[in-house]
Structure 1
């Protein structure tokens, strides 16, 4: 049986390079696609698993409930060459972008569902084409917010997801005023992503400073990985406003300041991205319409063999660093 290269977490925040049996084209289930990975990008939702968390509910692919991460985990943002397909939308030789549903794309080859991919036209190198995946998630979330045109909106966190929210809310959503809040100084990137007002502060300090006229009608919580930032979003929002919690929650239960939520008559939304082929295609078109964001967005490109260094970078946010991408040789 043919062997392939992959990375495996052998301890919290520690990868080892391993050789494992390669997936077989003959073993594909209906709807599945076998990809040769050309690029993968690191998402904030990968960080808890990288740091040693064990998923307790809703296991993904090769990472079932309560089990340690499997080979190639954690990475789901992927661009790859189609080697074999049992999905009608893909033929061998094509390039695809989207989700590796097993979060197992730190490998030479990966199997995923064709319904979570779209063909890539090759106009962008893989390290840039991959931006369509996180952008698709953001576009889907902004669609679910309804009409935000003319509104004052705030995005808590101006990392790789937060800056995309700022740009899409300003450009596609036509928000009147976009506030970006982050403890990392993102002032140099703010204008490139449509941020009208950047606040270099923790979200709780910012929320405490707001007067009645300053409160945004929409607050996006794009920080994640803690329960307190949801309370910050609720505290900051204007009466009758919307709080959108983005991302996979790390904890099963999040406390909500119910008195403030009730008295302000707020709406809270969250959820995973559905209708993935449609929003991936919208994201691809968005990148064609706004190519300048790619230069500002993809800040770190490393070979796949330096995956440890890539994840160490992504785990330590800093000024001037946004999306970290790993590329196959």
Structure 2
């Protein structure tokens, strides 16, 4: 029987290469498609599962954890995902580190052939940013401080600036091209090291995209102006708590954002990627071949200047 390649997480930071039987098209559920991977891109939310800091289900199913993927449909039971079409789709159960993955038409969108594979995969993380920014309403003329200037922070700054916000960013990693992405002022310190005195005025909105803890959210509540808004995008660690009394006393509006209605927001993000393909390609700073996929996680785990998105090319 024909096989395809995959990587399986057997322990913290440890992948092994495996060969899997090709899926039987007759086992495919309605509304789903089998997709041949072109590129997968590592997300910050994958890292705590990869390194075991927030997950302990080893050994994992083959292909886990990766959810930003683009590929070509080879079998389909969906009119929305015809055979031969190229799609950005969230692999079922986040199992995207494999040459074949299954995607649902509720979490996939067809993308044009002329967008490079790794850039096309940006449609998925951008969809989450579009959804989050829309939850803020009209941001024109409002001051926004973004805590966490990784890949999602770059996308958030860019999109908020496009919508007329005044944007500043905070991250310990220096970013000489911050202005290119819409940040008018970048503070290369940890959020805990930033005080109100460092800012011209307390921001109307603070966006937290650090995640995996609770300190950054506390910093966001501390830094936002009274009656301002804190948008939480960073994935929290299980058991995280909030300084609710401080938020309450200062009349802070807390907004959380995760998991948009996928089809709608993947479609919105696709339009932006098609319009700004060359610019958004800057987000892909490192690529590795499929055989070296484990290296993509090691690269992404390093918070160093010049490292944004890491793509695996099949």
Q: TM-score range by the shorter chain?
A: over 0.9
Q: Provide the C-alpha distance between the structure 2 equivalents of 1:98 and 1:248, rounded to a whole number of angstroms.
A: 21
Aligned partner (choices 109, 114, 127) of residue 123 of structure 1: 114
SS in 1 for 2:194: helix
**Structure 2 gap segments, 5+ residues each:** none
Within a 5 Å distance, the mapping from 1:68-107 to structure 2 comes to 68-107=59-98
Q: 1:16-75: per-residue Cα shift (whole Å, max 9, x none)?
A: 11112232211101111110011000001101110014648xxxxxxxxx6652110100
Q: Provide the C-alpha distance between the structure 2 equivalents of 1:272 and 1:67, rounded to a whole number of angstroms.
A: 25
**1:291 is matched with which residue?**
277
Within a 5 Å distance, the mapping from 1:177-188 to structure 2 comes to 177-186=166-175, 188=176
Instruction: Work out whether 1:317 is the aligned partner of 2:307.
Output: no
**TM-score normalised to structure 2 length:** 0.95
Do 1:297 and 1:323's aligned partners in 2 also have CA atoms closer than 8 Å?
A: yes
Q: 1:87-137: per-residue Cα shift (whole Å, max 9, x none)?
A: 120111110013113110100100121110000111211111111111111
Q: Comparing 257-266 with 291-300, which one deviates more in the overlay? A: 291-300
SS in 1 for 2:69: strand
Within a 5 Å distance, the mapping from 1:225-264 to structure 2 comes to 225-251=212-238, 253-264=239-250
1:247–1:26 Cα change, 3 Å: farther
Alpha-carbon distance, 1:247 to partner: 3.7
Q: Provide the C-alpha distance between the structure 2 equivalents of 1:47 and 1:199, rounded to a whole number of angstroms.
A: 25
Alpha-carbon distance, 1:14 to partner: 1.3
Q: 1:158-211: per-residue Cα shift (whole Å, max 9, x none)?
A: 10111000001110x310x2011001111x220221110101101011145456
Q: 1:233-273: per-residue Cα shift (whole Å, max 9, x none)?
A: 1111111111111143221x322112320121011111322
Q: Provide the C-alpha distance between the structure 1 equivalents of 2:54 and 2:190, rounded to a whole number of angstroms.
A: 28
**2:101 is matched with which residue?**
110
**Structure 1 gap segments, 5+ residues each:** 57-65
- For this pair of structures, how many residues does the alignment match? 314
Do 2:71 and 2:88's aligned partners in 1 also have CA atoms closer than 8 Å?
A: yes
**1:217 is matched with which residue?**
204
Q: 1:203-227: per-residue Cα shift (whole Å, max 9, x none)?
A: 011145456x521111111011122
Do 1:178 and 1:197's aligned partners in 2 also have CA atoms closer than 8 Å?
A: yes
Do 1:231 and 1:257's aligned partners in 2 also have CA atoms closer than 8 Å?
A: yes
Runs of 4+ in 1 over 4 A off after TM superposition: 53-56
**TM-score normalised to structure 1 length:** 0.91
Do 2:11 and 2:58's aligned partners in 1 also have CA atoms closer than 8 Å?
A: no
1:269–1:179 Cα change, 3 Å: same
Instruction: Work out whether 1:193 is the aligned partner of 2:181.
Output: yes
Do 2:119 and 2:277's aligned partners in 1 also have CA atoms closer than 8 Å?
A: no
SS in 2 for 1:214: coil
**1:326 is matched with which residue?**
312
Q: Provide the C-alpha distance between the structure 2 equivalents of 1:204 and 1:129, rounded to a whole number of angstroms.
A: 35
Q: Provide the C-alpha distance between the structure 2 equivalents of 1:24 and 1:215, rounded to a whole number of angstroms.
A: 57
**1:38 is matched with which residue?**
38
Alpha-carbon distance, 1:145 to partner: 1.2
Do 1:7 and 1:107's aligned partners in 2 also have CA atoms closer than 8 Å?
A: yes
